[in-house]
Chain A
């Protein structure tokens, strides 16, 4: 279980990295934390000609927090972000979600940008990005651009990133007052990829739902918003049991489940309803708290 031969480059600047990437775009892989790529290389499931290791590029692991939001450099390790957001109410979704990413040893090395770029449908970071309305910042020799997370994930391991681009940062806008967030997932074992998971955001004013982002992951081929379920909640009281039941039913019915793996479509569909129902109950409690 050893990787096939590859050429290796460890650029020392972003420009150098982008030039290399432009040069080898079609037969290169960017090596970020490597916690998914290295196993694939070891198993020879991936065998790129070039490995462009961006761990040496300075400045890519910076976390900047401003009034506008949180700019997380792509090479920020999962645990570094977790340490930053641990006690920050605005980033409670990240604080809740990241501990579910594999295990400490993996999170110490795995990066936010790498996880977003890989777009594993069962990963937490892409779903968090959508639920927080994040913007993915991409760079290439052609320049930089931003893609909203909601437009970034296109399918199974498929994103809006062009082959010559790399993610340089993920920007999470600071949630407006009233936003509540919750995270939950069902996994066979601690740290496993989820059988189904939910990143949920809800803006509640005086116990009424004003806005919602319900992002399910590990269900379809990419993290997916349950828009019909969101609509069923918006304008309703957080304690409205009928609206909640309708939202759960809509989420369950509407979600596209990717078949395969060792668990069935019906089971996943059920988990979707369970996760949402539980989360809505928690939101009710949280919304009540805020009112109090």
Chain B
């Protein structure tokens, strides 16, 4: 069959994704998270609501976490994009990953990428967030499984580990 994409506006982009430069032509209406998942195979970012509420698609763009469903791939031209895969590979999430694992801070795992990246941004900004502060910063990421407490525990423990590391 013939596929007619004639109407679909396409945009040429050059984007750094997890440290690699990617040149691509993307449909203008394609969201960043879908491009990463469907075209680049980076399926660690998940799509939970597509209207910016659930946080499952959290992606780091130019150093800040944002919603991958509320940014178009076309807008990533010239940006530095880091997904959960890149953040894991860099080792910067290691303390959080371990704390999440030990505290069973995930069950189904669908929210986990977003939780990790959001928690990492908090820990990069604040040395010693308390439980309520952690809850506040994670309040834009939905988890149906854990009831959040184990996630808060894990972030608290990772913050402590980070402090000790920095202190020594």
Chain A: residues with CB nearer than 8 A to chain B? 1-8, 10, 31, 34-35, 38-39, 41-43, 51, 53, 55-56, 77, 79, 102-106, 108-109, 189-191
Give the residues in chain A near B9, CB-CB below 8 Å: 5-8
Interface window among B15-23, B69-77, B86-94, B151-159: B69-77
Q: Is the CB of A5 within 8 A of B7?
A: yes
Residues of B near A41 (CB, < 8 A) are 29
Asked if A53 contacts B75 (CB within 8 A), the reply is yes
Q: Determine the chain A residues whose CB is within 8 A of the CB of B66 once the complex forms.
A: 105-106, 108-109
Instruction: Contact check, B29 vs A5: say whether CB atoms are below 8 A apart.
Output: yes
Interface residues on B, range: 20 to 34
Which one of B96-104, B105-113, B136-144, B160-168 is at the interface?
A: B136-144
Cα A34 to Cα B52 with chains together (Å): 10
Query: Across the interface, do A105 and B65 meet the contact criterion of CB distance under 8 Å?
Result: yes
C-alpha spacing A4/B9, complex, angstroms:
11
Q: Which chain A residues border B31 with CB–CB below 8 Å? A: 38, 42
Whether the pair B139, A35 counts as a contact (CB closer than 8 A) is no
B52:A51 contact, CB within 8 angstroms: no
User: In this assembly, does B11 line the interface, its C-beta being within 8 Å of a C-beta of chain A?
Assistant: yes
Whether B51 and A39, one on each chain, are in contact in the complex, defined by CB atoms closer than 8 angstroms, is yes
Chosen A-B contacts, 9 in total, with CB atoms closer than 8 Å, are A1-B50, A6-B29, A10-B11, A10-B77, A34-B71, A43-B51, A79-B64, A109-B71, A189-B139
Closest CB in chain A relative to B65 CB, distance in Å = 5
A34 in contact with B70 given A103-B140, A189-B139, A191-B140 (CB within 8 Å): yes
| Inter-chain pairs besides A34-B75, A104-B140, 8 sampled, C-beta below 8 Å | A7-B28, A10-B75, A35-B70, A53-B75, A103-B140, A103-B141, A104-B121, A109-B71
